[in-house]
Structures are given as structure tokens and as C-alpha cells.
Amino acid sequence: MNKRKIINDPVYGFISISSDLLYDLVDHPYFQRLRRIKQLGLADVVYPGALHTRFHHALGAMHLMGQALKALQEKGHMIWELEFEAAQAAILLHDLGHGPFSHVLESVMMPGVAHEDVTLVLMKDINRQMNGRLDIAIQMFNGTYPRRFFHQMISSQLDMDRMDYLKRDSFYTGVIEGSIGADRLIKMFDISGDQLVVEEKGLLSIENFLHARRLMYWQVYLHKTLLSAQAMLTQILFRARELTAAGHDLFATPDFARFLYEKYTLADFDSQPDLLSSFNALDDNDVWASVKGWRLHSDPVLSTLCKMLLNRQLFKIQFFNAEPGEEILGPLRAQLKQSGVGETQIPYFLIKGETTNSAYAKEQDPIRVKMKNGDLVDIADASDIPTIEALTKIVRKYYVCWGKNVSLRG
Amino acid sequence: MNKRKIINDPVYGFISISSDLLYDLVDHPYFQRLRRIKQLGLADVVYPGALHTRFHHALGAMHLMGQALKALQEKGHMIWELEFEAAQAAILLHDLGHGPFSHVLESVMMPGVAHEDVTLVLMKDINRQMNGRLDIAIQMFNGTYPRRFFHQMISSQLDMDRMDYLKRDSFYTGVIEGSIGADRLIKMFDISGDQLVVEEKGLLSIENFLHARRLMYWQVYLHKTLLSAQAMLTQILFRARELTAAGHDLFATPDFARFLYEKYTLADFDSQPDLLSSFNALDDNDVWASVKGWRLHSDPVLSTLCKMLLNRQLFKIQFFNAEPGEEILGPLRAQLKQSGVGETQIPYFLIKGETTNSAYAKEQDPIRVKMKNGDLVDIADASDIPTIEALTKIVRKYYVCWGKNVSLRG
Amino acid sequence: MNKRKIINDPVYGFISISSDLLYDLVDHPYFQRLRRIKQLGLADVVYPGALHTRFHHALGAMHLMGQALKALQEKGHMIWELEFEAAQAAILLHDLGHGPFSHVLESVMMPGVAHEDVTLVLMKDINRQMNGRLDIAIQMFNGTYPRRFFHQMISSQLDMDRMDYLKRDSFYTGVIEGSIGADRLIKMFDISGDQLVVEEKGLLSIENFLHARRLMYWQVYLHKTLLSAQAMLTQILFRARELTAAGHDLFATPDFARFLYEKYTLADFDSQPDLLSSFNALDDNDVWASVKGWRLHSDPVLSTLCKMLLNRQLFKIQFFNAEPGEEILGPLRAQLKQSGVGETQIPYFLIKGETTNSAYAKEQDPIRVKMKNGDLVDIADASDIPTIEALTKIVRKYYVCWGKNVSLRG
Amino acid sequence: MNKRKIINDPVYGFISISSDLLYDLVDHPYFQRLRRIKQLGLADVVYPGALHTRFHHALGAMHLMGQALKALQEKGHMIWELEFEAAQAAILLHDLGHGPFSHVLESVMMPGVAHEDVTLVLMKDINRQMNGRLDIAIQMFNGTYPRRFFHQMISSQLDMDRMDYLKRDSFYTGVIEGSIGADRLIKMFDISGDQLVVEEKGLLSIENFLHARRLMYWQVYLHKTLLSAQAMLTQILFRARELTAAGHDLFATPDFARFLYEKYTLADFDSQPDLLSSFNALDDNDVWASVKGWRLHSDPVLSTLCKMLLNRQLFKIQFFNAEPGEEILGPLRAQLKQSGVGETQIPYFLIKGETTNSAYAKEQDPIRVKMKNGDLVDIADASDIPTIEALTKIVRKYYVCWGKNVSLRG
């Protein structure tokens, strides 16, 4: 049977699955699960087109990896067929460890567990099933493969993951200012001493890439309305756990129930073999189905929050440059009390948070530019104006969100 | 409060909500539910980008309606502000009556109930809540408003519904050949004797529109793999009903359970007032969550089908020009039996179906072209080659799909 | 020196020049001349964006050839590196023989000389300069290379020439309905018995391609306004020749003068070696510069026509289904006489023409579809509706154009 | 006759000409001339798609003006129909004063004459022909109209001119990183105290706009290869003037000849009434036709330069951060001498230049942001990171270009 396949993709036109291994990985239930996990979680409350999945993103990143490796080959770098396939496999699987509504859910259910670590557990499990066909891919993923640039293309400040998600998120949200010239960037890639570098004439393209990333952060990933919806879902999950802990009975899909009653650590994946299969059964539908079920629950906090989220009656939210104190929170608390929200219920309807972003982190593995004279220079030093320098500034914003029109009065 | 709003849309750039009424309709829980119902149901098994919702489609159709009405105004046709808003409201709400996986679910749960009729029930319910602000919109929707062209723009062979869905489905699937020149078509609209007509110089654009529609049918809506997935979901639902009817206990989300145990008719919406709210609680998540729950059920037919659908191990499918007889079905049945599928289980794993399509139905309300000499001519007669005539041919295809690698042996 | 190069192309993103030979061909003055010859001649009188050149089109066709050959290689067909390069070279050079405003100018200056024949003369000349590096490319171009599919990809009803020009012309005119899915078509290519064929599942894409072609013909290539402008330029050139023949002195760029005073045949390229270099010096600028110079000439016919064309005061034009007779022409002639146009001048201001088009010519080398059962079928027979059959109809239209507001009265 | 018209535009889809006045202006020969003047002069030596004209750009800017004014109206600002039309007229005509290869030609033929001043002369001339229908448009253009924002939308750091050219140049070059979100920017416009301002939530969009502008400068407008071609054309024109001044006979189109023999000032347009019509007869074709004619001239400097430019054998060019001295120039001069270039000929083959750019000029009329609290703030102060500040830095680069492979030896 011919396992080569071509998949339509509005972003790149067509994505080719170019080997049997890749085909088998796409076909694997762990990977098919990603069809049911949206890349941007709740972002469609702001951008109704932002419904693309981690499945599609992973395929896109695999496509870009193929393009990038071909570009490097055309510049004369030797890349073995096995390495080519392994790099594509690694980027294809790099998001396996994400649960639904990743950042929200993990903070409640598996606090402190990095999704990269779960990915590694899952990759190893597939590798076992496939008798070691993922050995090199796993080395590339965890950074132990000798030729360092493969890892950098999988995970760094200029990796295929970021390239695809910026391009894809910009495309599906319709925030066209966040669009990047991935094609051109890729053609500017080179290798120097086994490190991924960018040719000097790609300098403006990287600047553009970093600016696009900053824009996407504030316009999309940290959009006020999205932060508000995320805060609400977080509170819903906290309340659900609180109720189950207190012995209340809660509707939940079978897969989700387990995670509602327990908190798990990374070590649990080893000690409880069936945890892996439970995790792999989770997707967005469990969360939504539960939220929908809970809107009918007798607990007014839980049902109110669920109804509001479902009907997109979101908390009001406001940003602050400094941490907001009682002069802000006091009046809001008073207002909630007047609406019938009790003292112990207030934390569910008045949330304080903070969020930070810097478009380029200089202290991390830097983006290296190969100047025409052969020097390797950090991108922040290569630009002729201090614009990249400006992008390294960490911007911190505080926010308060609250249920303005909530009423808990019988 | 300013209720004007602008929404990002990858297809048109931006969609404006241009009045308070429209804003309130978008905000209504009945409409917000459409956020959770995908326009193309299971089509993402073939086209992973096809995840757009009826919510987004309805906004897009409202946008096109606004564009089209402006174009008519610029040609000197008087359209009152109230009519303008009503037409936008009507098209915005035209899909309210769709349930999740519409064609699949309705055939099982509410056979014989047209979604347009449910839409009308829901529109009337909102109208009641809003004290008659939808009176004109409802007249336009059901065809009783005197100026006939409004209804034609909402529901005909050249309505805003089709224009948006062709454009949007083509965009999100990545099937670019299905893209239509909606902008140009709209600029070719005119009114003659209260009928919607198209200027003669728009003739080629309509030809293109009909060809694109035909292409989308065979390439997307009736794609073999999609038909196969739909057949599987249909069998899953039949089996679930059969089991519940036989007294078995089945996991189901609260909203969905009711529909699993009963069949409803349109009249029930009148006699059982709470049916409306149950219907409005249904969305894609209920179906997926149930399918996921059922994959663990003790019934091997149900659990096998659910696992296969979730992991995208789809039935094999083949098209035929004539109805396939025993020479086709016999060997497949034998093969299934060998895999351990019992006699009574076979109908769940071997499905015969047919599907038809004609790109342009001449006997229906035709697309009228206004020739330069003022004559109104059916598009099929206006073209200089018999290509539209060709498109009126009804193409019928038969198919058989079966679980090739199914094994029900313990 | 590294001769590999990447060129920005709004249509495909980037075009790579993938070998030294191709680089040298692009660099050749014969090819650089195509930078100054617009693909669509006067079409910007209707579509102001239609300014793309034969240079850009040739690069695009070379790009598509590369994509198509790679697709064939991936299907297991052996294509030698030399063949790959030769096919790209042949399609790159396929338009060398075009002069400025090709169809207009050739009909006046070199009647009966096919541009393909001039291309061959020029290819052979370059081949001589390059010591035979174009031997295979020339065989592929003129159809003598044994593996027939190469020629079919260069020149047939589904060649890279048409694919690029449809896509490019649609892009630059903004007539998006003419856009074709070149990417998908190319992936559907296959070879059977050294013939180019298309897989059955590409059937709808070819239908779409043929419909797009038909649309582009009537919407762009044979647009009324463009036909009118072409008729005017034709009359300008006829008048200029008439005046020079009568001994009048006419401004002309040095390169153009020669062609104003003489008519050439294909044989002249052999007997007059310097004709080649004169021909290669001609481009759009010569024509426009001459028209601009002539607007000041003392001959009222010439100067009037030139001024009108420059200021886009075009002849009025009307289409007819049958050949227009005196009932049409008589009144127009009378009208022109009243405006001071003399009897002998009338043919310059009243032009009768006809134009025909069929989207698919069945009697030519047909487009072959490889059915799933292995049969090769003409596309017109493979479709399930008679739409391709409809496209084989030859549509003939007659037109009359005339200088409605011309005034030759002193 | 209905003068409303719709023009296809690949950038915006369709451009409407919405009034008789605008139609008459588009029809005017002064404006039609812009069809023959490319927006980016010689840029197609780098970007073969960059052939769009000032005609198309002007239509695009008029379109954006219409969109922007509608957005302001929708926010409740009163704009009279006459103002609306005048603003569209003014931006439509804003580039009338450009000659072919504007910056090159003007520096040689009309040094010190700003094209804005010539535009004003031409607008006044049309206004005279049209009996004052352009009175308001002229006031808006020259900044004397009381409502200041109209002028700012025509000419400022955030005007419709820049918006269209960035979008259009990015589109036609294929440099997609330079693309801006014009739609969104326009929706962020507001008026405060008769000044054009931008809403705070448009801040990131303006940052993006300024970054795109910087990128387009270095990637396109000041691209090395383009600077080299411009330097060559400049030298060609200098040499041509030198030869005519020395009494040599030179081929030239009639329109161009006048400018070859004389230098003009702005005052000459008043004193020599026919200068206006000579200027309006000039376009790109004159320059190219002359360059083509001169390639056959007996002067080796002139003919060599012309042949090189026509065949795209461009000067080599190198950038420097500081002004290059004899250590750079000396060896190049020696090399040229060895190729047979005489002492007096060297300035034609060895050119030193400099170029500067800052993406945002703070000292000029700043871009004003209206903060949520109502304050008006310079964009450079409104951003939360010093990135705009970085963009105010003036970047200066020096370059040397020289004819590396020139040979003037007989």
C-alpha cells in the first residue's frame, strides 16, 4: 500500500507526508487525538476563525521542517535521509503532551508538569510500540543528538514550531499584521559549526518575525477578552474540584472524571501505566461537555460561571501597569456583594492576574546571524538600529477581571 | 453603550455588526450556540482546516447581505433602513435550526423535520422575547414579505447563504478551485419587478459560481471519505438508540440523553415547551463526548464503531454508477462474517447509500439574467454555450462502505 | 561564482533558478528583452494591474515545470537531470519569438510568421553561442525528443505555458474567477506510455481549468474594450506603413524603423543575419514612443488615432452574433462622414472584426485521463456530465468598432 | 451617461469611481499619462513583478481615502459630500507632478524642483479647465483647508499615499513582510480637534506599519541592485546632456529632447506655457526608447552604459558604514583604467553615493494616539517598549558602485 499522502492546507496549499514512518505517526491514535484539541483554546471568543487544531499545526510544522532541510541541502549541507525523517517526526510529535485548553487545565490538574515532559513520555511510548524507529527523533527532541541544529529547528527562538504557529494563528485569526515571511526566513537558514544560523541578508526578515510575534502576543494570545475567558474556565475547574473534594457528585465524561478527582505529577505516568491512556483520551469535548453539564448543577457558583462562559457573557477585565491594590479591588468586591455574591464566593468572580511578554530573550539560546565576513553575531547586536534591543524588554501587565453583571440572588 | 462591533474574519477581513438589533441577536444564547456547531460536520477527516462554525458562516452571510444591499442602493434602488436591518437579521439567523452534525443527527433523531422549520420556531421565540423586533425579518425569511428579492437573497439558488458557504468552505478546506468571485457577483445584482436579477455582464461569473458549486459538492460535501465517516456516525447513533430502546444504560451528556431516548416531530416543539431549550443545548461536544464515552461500552458493535471513528480508522468506500447488487455485497458480507461480525451486526458494518447532485435546478426559482435589451432570461438560456444546461443534469452515484479491517472476535 | 538565484514572485512566492545553464539563459540579452514586453499587450486599458511581462511569465512556467517534474519523479518516473534542465530551459525560452504587442504587430509587420517559428530560430542561435547546451531543449520544444510527455508539458492543451499564464493573468488582472488550482493539477499528473496523463481524481480540477480558461478568454483576452484598443493600434500601424510607403517621413525609434518600411518572412531571418538582432531590439517602448511621436504628425488620421489611444479615448465597440451588414455599417459610415472623415479615411475609423474561442479542442492532442481501471480516456468522455462537451463548442462573435466622437474637421 | 465605474484591482478587489468629477479626473490626459509611469521606476531589475504604475497607485489611494472617510462618518463625524469628493480628488491627483523615473530624472533635468510643486501647477491647470471644481481639493492638498485632518490624510506620516504604496509595493514585489493591515488601521482612525488621530487600540497596528515601512525601504526602495541601476541611469542622462551640450547629435523622442537640452525651474512653468504640455507628454517610454537608441551611439561611454543597463549587466555595488575613502576608491579606479576607461570617463563608471532612512520622524507632524483617557500622545511616547523610539534613528549608509566588467578597449 502506498502510504504517501497529500493533505490540503489553506496555509501552505498542500502538505506532503513523505515517508511510511511519518504516515504511521499521523495515523497513531495519540496523534489523531490532536484533531480534537484546538491550538488556541478559547481564542475563538475573540477571533471566531481561530478553531485550528494542534493536529493541523503539527502537520504544518513538519512541512516547514521539510522545506527548511531541503534549503539547507541545496546549500550543500549533507543531511541523511534518516535524519531528515527523524527531524520531521520529532516536530510532528512535539505537541503530543498538550491536554485540552492546555495552560488552563494543566495549571489546575497537573500543576508543575511541563507539557514537553509529557510529550517525551508519549514519544517514548510510541517508540516502544514501533521498536525504536523514533530513536533519533527522540534524541533530536531532547537535545542529545550531536548535530545541534536539528534540536534548534525543533525548539529554539527560531524553530519550526514558532514559525508555523505564528503563520497559522495569524491566518486563522485574521490578524494579518502577524503574518511572517516563513518562506524567505527558511531560505536564509544556514549551518555554522553545527549551529543553526541566519544569513545576514535575512536580518530584516528576523526583525519582522520578532515584531510579528510581539504583535500576536498582545493582539491574540494575551488579548483581554481571552484572558477573561481563561480566568473564567480556570475558576470553573477550581470550583468543580472543590465540589468533588467536598463529596458532591458532578457530571463528567468518563475520561475527564479521573482528572477532576486527582492531581497528577510526571512521576505518576511511570507508576500508573493506565494514566497514559486516560491522558490520551482527553480532549476539548470533555471540557465543553462537562461545562455544559455543570450549567445545570445546583451549586450557584458553578452553574453561573458555566452559563456565562457558554453564552459568552464574559467577565469585564482591565489592565494596569502596577499591581492593583484595594483602591481597585475594594469597590468591585462591594459591588459583587450587592449582587448577592457571598464572601467565600467572591474569589470565583473577582480575579487578579498578571502577564508578561518579551519578544526576544537575549539570555536564552540566541538567534545567530552569520555576517558577510563570517562572524556569528547575536541578532540583537547585528541590527543597525536598536529595535531588537527594544524587543528584549520584558513587558509586564496586571489585570483584574470580575463578573460585572453577575447575580446570585435567588 | 456602543454596540457597534467589528469582528476579524480571515475570509472578508472584517465583518461589521452595524446595529443594536444585530448586536443583540449575535449575543443571544441561541446564536452563541452556533459557535459550537461546525459548518461541515465531519469534513475535517478529509480537510483538517474545515473547522469553521455555523456562527462564523452566519456572520459572513450577514456581511454579504450588507454588501449586496449597498450595491443595490448605489444602483438607485430604495431600501429602507428597517428593511436593510431585517434582511441582515434574517440571514444571520437562517441556520438557527441546525443541530450538530445536522444531516446525520436529524435523520436519526428528528426524521422528517426540516431545519428551516426549526429555524422559524426559534426566530419566532426570539421575536417574542424581543417584542416583535423580528417581524419583518421573519416575513422575509418565510417569503411573505411583499418585496420578493429580499427572500431570494436569503434563500434561492443565488442567495447569500450559498455565496458565503461556498467561499468559506473553499477557504477553510483549501480547495481553492471552489472559490467564487462573490464581490463581483454582488456588484452584478439588480432588481427587476421586485425580483433579484443579474446583469448580463455577470453571466460568466454565475457560470463560474455554478461550476464552483458542482466542484465543491464532489470534492468536499460528497467526498468519499466524508460519506464514509458520516455513515459510521449514523450507525453509531442507530446502535445507541437500539441499545437504549432495549433498556441498556448508556453514557450521554444531559442535553443529548433526551434525544437518544425519543424521536421528535416539529409539532413537539409546540406541545413540549422545554424541547426548545433542550434543542438549544445541543452541540458538537455532546456528540463527541458521547462517542468517546461509548468507546468503552460493553456492546462490541458500539464500542468498535466509536473507537474506529475516533482514531480515524474509517470504512472503506466505493462508488458505483448503478445500484450495487449481491455480486458486490455478497463477498463483503462473507468477509465481515469471517472477521467475527454476526448476522444481525452486519448492517452496522456494511452500508449501501446513494447520493445525487445537480449544480443548477432549472425547475426551481431560476437565476434570472437581465439582458442588455431588458429581457429577463433564465441563466440556462442566456449562456452562449450549453454549459449551464449541462449543469442541470442530476448526477446520481451509489456507494457501498464497509469495515474492512474490523474484527469483532474476542 | 554561485549562479543559483531566488526571485520574488507574487504568484508563487519564490522562483528558484536551479542550474548554471538556466542562470545563463535568464541572463542572455534575448531573454532580458522579454522584461520589456508585456504579456497582455494593451490589456491594461481594462485591467490596470495587467502589466506583467513575458519575462515573468517565462520564469513562472519554468517554475511550474520544475514542480511538475518533481511530482512525476515522486511517483517513481525516472527523469534524468539533463532532461529536467532541458525541459525547464525549453519552457523558459518558449516565448522568445514574441514581438511587442504580439498579435497586433505581427499581423502588420510579419504576416504569416508564427512566433513559435521565430522562437526556434532564436533558440538555435543561442544554442550555437552555447555550443550545443540546448540540443535536448530544442528537441523537446519542436517535438522530436523521444519521450513525448516533455513536449506535451511545453506545448499542449495542458502545458505549463497555459497553467502559468492563466494563473498569472488572473492574478494581475484581479479576475479571481479565472484562478486555477495549478498545484493540485500538477500533483495529478502521471505518465502512461510516454504520454502525459492526468489521474482520474484530477478530473474536476481539469474541468475547473477549462472553465477558467473560457472565462479568461471572454473576460480578459477578448474583452470588448481591449479588442477596441487593439483595433486602433492595428490601424495606427497600417496608416504609418501607408505613409512611409508613400514617401512620408515618420519619426520612429531606430529599432522600429526597419519594420515600418519592410514586411518580413521567416526565410528573411536566414538570408539577412542582422534581422535577428533588429528583432531582438524591439520591445513595447518602441511602439509607444512611436505612437507618442506620431500624435504630432501632420497626417490627421495618424495623429488623431495616436492621440485617442494615448488618452484612452477608445473606439466604441459592439458585438454581434451574425456578421453585421450594411444596416449596421451604413449609419456609422454616415455619422463618420458628418464628422469630417473622408471616404478613404473611413476604414481607419470603422473596423469590422470577428473573434472565436473554444475552451477545449477535441480534435487536437486531447487531454488524457487515466481512469482507476487503467484506461486512458479523452477528458471530454471522462466527465460524468456533458460540461466538457459543451466547452468544445466554438463560439464565434462579430464586432464593429468605430470612432464615435472623432472629429477630423479643421 | 452613467459615469460610475468599477475597476478591478488585485490589491483591494474592486475600486469604485463614485462621482462624475472623479470620473472626469481619471479620464483627463494628465492623469492617463500616469498609466505609463511605473511607481517604482527601475525596481523590476530586482523584483520582476514591480511594474505597477502611478495610475494604479493613485486609484488605490483614492479608494483608501473613501474607506477612511466612511469609517470616520460611522464614528459620527460629519463630512460633507463635497468634502468627501474633494479629498478623494486631491489624493487621486497627488502624484501628477511626477515625471518618469522620478528621482533619477528630476535630479538631472529639473534639479531643485519638488514634484509636489509641479503637482500643484497641474492641479491648478485642470481646475481652470474645469471652472473651479477642484477649489476645495487644492486647498486640502496645499494645507489651507480649515479642517486639518483632510490634509493629514493626503500628506503626513500616516496618509493614504503611504498606506497604498506600502501595500501595493509589497504586493507587486512579493515582499510579503512589508504588508500592512490597512483595513484595520483605517478603522482605528478618529478625529480630535480637527486633527487626525489613532485610537489607542490601534497602537500595535501603527508599530507594524512603521516596521513594514522600514523593511520596505531597505528591502526594496534602497535595495543595492536598484541603487546600482539608478546610478547607471543617472550617469547615462548626465552623459547624454554633456554630449548635447557639446553639440553632438543625439536620438531622442520628440517629447524628451526638450528636457535633454535644457534645465528647467518651477518658474519656467509660468513663463513658458507650453512647458506644461511637454512635461505631460513625458513617460517611461521616452526614457527607454532613448536609452535603446543611444546604445548605438558612437560615444563609447554612452553606448556602453546603455547596453549594460538594457541587458541588466549592472554595476557592482558595496555598502559602507562610513564614507569610503581612497583606500576603497583608489584600487577601483586603477582597475577601471586597466580596462581602458580614461581619466575623464571614470566618473561615469565609479560612483559614490549615500542614502539615509528613518522609519519615523519625530520632529515632523507626529502620529497622534488618542489614549483611552482622552489624552493625545505622540506614538513614540505611547508604546510600552522603546521600539518606535528606535525607529526614529536615522540610518545612513554609504555606497560605491562601479562597472566591474566594463571594457572600453576597442
The CATH number for A224-355, chosen from 1.20.120.1200, 1.10.1520.10, 1.20.1250.30, 3.60.15.10, is 1.20.1250.30
Of D39, D35, D38, D13, the closest CA to residue D26 belongs to D35
Q: Indicate yes or no: CB of D13 within 8 angstroms of CB of B187.
A: no
Candidates A4, A14, A184; nearest CB to C183: A14
Averaged pLDDT score across all residues of chain C = 94
Q: What is the 3-state secondary structure (H, E, C) of chain B?
A: CCCCEEEEECCCEEEEECCHHHHHHHHCHHHHHHHHCECCCCHHHCCCCCCCEHHHHHHHHHHHHHHHHHHHHHCCCCCCHHHHHHHHHHHHHCCCCCCCCHHHHHHHHCCCCCHHHHHHHHHHHHHHHCCCCCHHHHHHHHCCCCCHHHHHHHCCCCCHHHHHHHHHHHHHHCCHHHCCCHHHHHHCEEEECCEEEEEHHHHHHHHHHHHHHHHHHHHHHCCHHHHHHHHHHHHHHHHHHHHHHCCCCCCCCHHHHHHHHCCCCHHHHHHCHHHHHHHCCCCHHHHHHHHHHHCCCCCHHHHHHHHHHHCCCCCEEEEECCCCCHHHHHHHHHHHHHCCCCHHHHHHCEEEEEEEECCCCCCCCCCEEECCCCCEEEHHHHCCCCHHHHHCCCEEEEEEEECCCCCCCC
D96: three-class secondary structure by DSSP: coil
What is the tens place of the pLDDT at every residue in B207-250? 999 999 999 999 999 999 999 999 999 999 999 999 999 999 99
What is the tens place of the pLDDT at every residue in C329-377? 999 999 999 999 999 999 999 999 999 888 898 878 899 999 988 999 9
Candidates C13, C48, C251; nearest CB to D254: C251
pLDDT at B110: 86
Equal fold, C5-222 vs C224-355: no
Name the grid cell of B382.
442566456
Find how far residue A286's CA is from the centre of its chain. 19
The residue-averaged pLDDT of D222-244 equals: 96
Q: Are C7 and D48 in contact (CB under 8 A)?
A: yes
Candidates C11, C285, C296; nearest CB to D285: C285
Which chain B residues are Cβ-neighbours of D187 within 8 angstroms?
Answer: 6, 14
What band does B405 get if pLDDT is binned at 50, 70 and 90?
A: confident
pLDDT at B224: 95
The residue-averaged pLDDT of D13-33 equals: 96
Compute the distance between CA of residue D148 and CA of residue D230 in angstroms, rounded to an integer.
37
pLDDT at A371: 94
- Rounded to 5 degrees, what angle do the CA atoms A36, A37, A43 make? 125
Q: Are C174 and C49 in contact (CB under 8 A)?
A: yes
CB pairs < 8 Å spanning B and D: 12
Kindly state the helix (H) or strand (E) to which residue C227 belongs, with its residue range.
helix C224-245
Q: Are A339 and A409 in contact (CB under 8 A)?
A: yes
Which chain A residues are Cβ-neighbours of C187 within 8 angstroms?
Answer: 6, 14
pLDDT at B121: 96
pLDDT at B263: 86
Q: If you measure CA to CA, which chain D residue comes closest to A181?
A: D177
**CATH fold of the domain at B5-221+369-378:** Hypothetical protein af1432 (1.10.3210)
Of C181, A170, C399, D357, the closest CA to residue B211 belongs to C181
Candidates A177, A179, A386; nearest CB to D205: A177
Q: Indicate yes or no: CB of A13 within 8 angstroms of CB of C183.
A: yes
What is the tens place of the pLDDT at every residue in B23-49? 999 999 999 999 999 999 999 999 999
Compute the distance between CA of residue D302 and CA of residue D33 in angstroms, rounded to an integer.
28
Residue among B27, B215, B274, B285 with most chain A CBs within 10 A, to mutate: B285
Residue among A173, A187, A204 with most chain D CBs within 10 A, to mutate: A204
Chains that touch A (3 or more CB pairs under 8 A): B, C, D
Name the grid cell of A45.
471568543
The residue-averaged pLDDT of D265-269 equals: 92
What band does C106 get if pLDDT is binned at 50, 70 and 90?
A: confident
Q: Indicate yes or no: CB of A187 within 8 angstroms of CB of C4.
A: no
pLDDT at D105: 86
Residue among B187, B188, B204, B372 with most chain D CBs within 10 A, to mutate: B187
pLDDT at D1: 46
Which chain C residues are Cβ-neighbours of B215 within 8 angstroms?
Answer: 204, 207-208
pLDDT at B410: 61
What is the tens place of the pLDDT at every residue in C44-55? 999 999 999 999
Q: Report in angstroms the alpha-carbon separations of C372 from B352, C200, C201.
A: 21, 6, 9
Which chain D residues are Cβ-neighbours of C251 within 8 angstroms?
Answer: 253-254
Compute the distance between CA of residue D409 and CA of residue D339 in angstroms, rounded to an integer.
7
Least confident of A344-353, B35-44, C34-43, D249-258: D249-258
D398: three-class secondary structure by DSSP: strand
The residue-averaged pLDDT of C227-246 equals: 96
Compute the distance between CA of residue D49 and CA of residue C172 in angstroms, rounded to an integer.
9
Residue among B2, B6, B18 with most chain D CBs within 10 A, to mutate: B6
Q: What residues contact B38, with CB distance under 8 A and at least 6 apart?
A: B44, B50, B51, B52, B53, B54, B100, B284
Higher pLDDT: B70 or A387? It is B70
Q: Locate cell 459592439: which residue?
A: C318
User: Given CA atoms D338, D342, D344, D346 in this order, what sign does their dihedral have?
Assistant: negative
Name the grid cell of D162.
503611504
Q: Hey, where are the domains in chain D?
A: 5-222, 224-355
| Strands B395-402 and B350-357, sheet pairing | antiparallel
Q: Report in angstroms the alpha-carbon separations of D322 from A126, A374, D61, D319, D399.
A: 58, 20, 38, 9, 9
- Tell me the residues of A at the B interface, defined by beta carbons under 8 Å apart: 7-11, 13-14, 27, 29, 32, 35-36, 44, 47-49, 51-53, 55-56, 59, 171-175, 251, 253-255, 281, 283-286, 288-289, 292-293, 296, 310-312
CB pairs < 8 Å spanning A and C: 12
What band does D262 get if pLDDT is binned at 50, 70 and 90?
A: confident
The residue-averaged pLDDT of D307-330 equals: 96
What is the tens place of the pLDDT at every residue in D289-301? 999 999 999 999 9
What count of residues does chain C have? 410
Q: Are D51 and C53 in contact (CB under 8 A)?
A: yes
At A273, the amino acid letter reads: P
What band does D29 get if pLDDT is binned at 50, 70 and 90?
A: very high
pLDDT at C389: 84
What is the tens place of the pLDDT at every residue in D115-171? 999 999 999 999 999 999 999 999 999 999 999 999 999 999 999 999 999 999 999
Q: Indicate yes or no: CB of A53 within 8 angstroms of CB of B53.
A: no
What is the tens place of the pLDDT at every residue in D357-405? 888 988 788 999 999 889 999 998 988 878 888 888 888 999 999 998 8
Compute the distance between CA of residue B31 and CA of residue B280 in angstroms, rounded to an integer.
9
DSSP letters for A383-401: SSSTHHHHHTSPEEEEEEE
Write down the H helix ranges in D75-132.
Answer: 81-93, 102-109, 115-129
Which chain B residues are Cβ-neighbours of D14 within 8 angstroms?
Answer: 183-184, 187
What is the tens place of the pLDDT at every residue in B81-123? 999 999 999 999 999 999 999 888 888 888 889 999 999 999 9
User: What is the largest distance, in Å, between two alpha-carbon atoms of chain B?
Assistant: 75
| Count of beta carbons in the 10 Å neighbourhood of residue A60 | 28
Averaged pLDDT score across all residues of chain B = 94
A353: three-class secondary structure by DSSP: strand
The residue-averaged pLDDT of C79-96 equals: 98
A314 Rama class: left (phi>0) / alpha (psi -120 to 50) / beta: beta
Q: If you measure CA to CA, which chain C residue comes closest to B215?
A: C204
The whole-angstrom distance between C265's CA and the closest CA on chain B is: 38
Compute the distance between CA of residue B196 and CA of residue B369 in angstroms, rounded to an integer.
9
The whole-angstrom distance between B187's CA and the closest CA on chain D is: 9
A368: three-class secondary structure by DSSP: strand
pLDDT one digit per residue (tens) for chain A, 410 residues: 456 689 999 999 999 999 999 999 999 999 999 999 999 999 999 999 999 999 999 999 999 999 999 999 999 999 999 999 999 999 999 999 999 998 888 888 888 899 999 999 999 999 999 999 999 999 999 999 999 999 999 999 999 999 999 999 999 999 999 989 999 999 999 999 999 999 999 999 999 999 999 999 999 999 999 999 999 999 999 999 999 999 999 999 888 999 998 889 999 998 998 999 999 999 999 999 999 999 999 999 999 999 999 999 999 999 999 999 999 999 999 999 999 999 999 999 999 999 988 889 887 889 999 998 899 999 989 888 788 888 888 889 999 999 988 988 76
Of B172, B139, B133, B107, the closest CA to residue B22 belongs to B133
The residue-averaged pLDDT of D338-366 equals: 91
Q: Indicate yes or no: CB of D204 within 8 angstroms of CB of A384.
A: no
Compute the distance between CA of residue D243 and CA of residue D249 in angstroms, rounded to an integer.
8
Candidates C48, C172, C254; nearest CB to D296: C254
Q: Locate cell 468519499: which residue?
A: B224
Q: What is the DSSP letter of D221?
A: I
Q: Indicate yes or no: CB of C9 within 8 angstroms of CB of D48.
A: yes
Over 80: is that where the pLDDT of D281 sits?
yes
What is the tens place of the pLDDT at every residue in C113-146? 999 999 999 999 999 999 999 999 999 999 999 9
Candidates C6, C184, C187; nearest CB to A187: C6
What is the tens place of the pLDDT at every residue in D158-193? 999 999 999 999 999 999 999 899 999 999 999 999
Candidates A11, A174, A251; nearest CB to B8: A174
The residue-averaged pLDDT of D27-53 equals: 97
Q: State pTM to two decimals.
A: 0.96
Over 90: is that where the pLDDT of C302 sits?
yes
The residue-averaged pLDDT of B280-293 equals: 96
**CATH fold of the domain at C5-222:** Hypothetical protein af1432 (1.10.3210)
